[in-house]
Structure 1
């Protein structure tokens, strides 16, 4: 478990340094903007699945974390497939959720690495992360439904107002559809 904790720590530090350098020196790219959060989520989901498999995390939490991410990716893909594109932007609750998920994974790995028996703290953190995960999933779904409704209204309005065939710009996922 020591190796897993160190690997998680190194991955987190390297991601933070990478993000800092990209912003500081303007090394940001559109591809990086898509790949970085996908890589972060892949790491986090794989850690949650592994911790769940070895019963360090409850199965219901692992299922909630994985399902939330599948729902978000699925909603974005569905939007694109039906020509109602949506761009990803993290919601504030999602940022808090991700921080909570990282803290919980680090806590469990740290606890198991050093045998500290932090059962109460881990249990509380599990429930907080569970609540944040469900809240974040609901917020994204609500935002997606609003996007789909607003997009449909925009299409009908634009078809009436514009006869030149120009395309409607996609809304950002997480942006107020009425803005």
Structure 2
């Protein structure tokens, strides 16, 4: 097992720790642990690319760890009334669309590979930012205007979900045309 995969596994193991800290109201602890988990997300990909340590395991495990980290934290913060339900629905719906759409594409079309778009990367980064800001506000006396950030995450979640549908639809149409000409 290489270092990037170990960092990804660490992120997975931190998810229940973050949940526990949030459930107990230890927002500062959750903030520090979430921030550390976010750093492992940036580091594992960079190390894997820079040192040519990409693996099939890492390609599967990394997005799973990311989704579990974000979805678990967002659902818990919604349960604690720190993040609005409409934002959580958008974040989870986008993830379900990506996973479900990818599986459907694989079943109907065949070979499938997913490459995150720039908009998708921005959305993921903004999800991490909004979680950090919410945890920072919850663990301090700072009052932040979070609504604009919530709206930005919502808009990018909906837009990037739509972008995946568009890209996959175009690929499916092109592949259908190519197979019809053979």
Same-fold status (TM-score > 0.5): yes
Q: Contact (CA 8 Å) 2:109, 2:172: kept in 1 or not? A: no
Give how far 1:63 is off: 0.4
- What CA distance in whole angstroms lies between the structure 1 residues aligned with 2:114 and 2:158? 19
Structure 2 contact 98–161 (Cα < 8 Å) conserved: yes
Q: Hey, what's the Cα distance between the residues in 2 that align with 1:89 and 1:19?
A: 14
In the TM superposition, residue 147 of structure 1 has moved relative to its aligned partner by 1.6
Residue in structure 1 matching 2:107, options 64, 67, 81: 81
Q: What TM-score results when the alignment is normalised by the length of structure 2?
A: 0.81
Which structure 1 segments of 5+ residues have no match? 159-179
CA distance in 1, matches of 2:75, 2:45: 25
Instruction: Say whether 1:104 aligns with 2:130.
Output: yes
Cα drift, residue 76 of structure 1:
0.8
Alpha-carbon contact 1:79-1:86 (below 8 Å) kept: yes
- Structure 1 Cα separation of the partners of residues 171 and 77 of structure 2: 35
Structure (1 or 2) with the larger CA radius of gyration? 1
* TM-score (structure 1 length as normaliser): 0.82
Q: Give RMSD over aligned pairs.
A: 1.3
Give yes or no for contact 1:84–1:148 (8 Å, CA) kept in 2: no
Cα offset, 1:71, TM superposition = 0.6
Question: Which residues of structure 2 form unaligned runs of 5+?
Answer: 1-26
1:57-136 equivalence runs, <5 A: 57-118=83-144, 120=145, 122-136=146-160
User: Counterpart in 2 of 1:31?
Assistant: 57
The reply on whether 1:140 has 2:140 as its aligned counterpart is: no
Please state whether the residue corresponding to 2:81 is helix, strand or coil: coil
Report the structure, 1 or 2, having the larger helix content.
Answer: 2
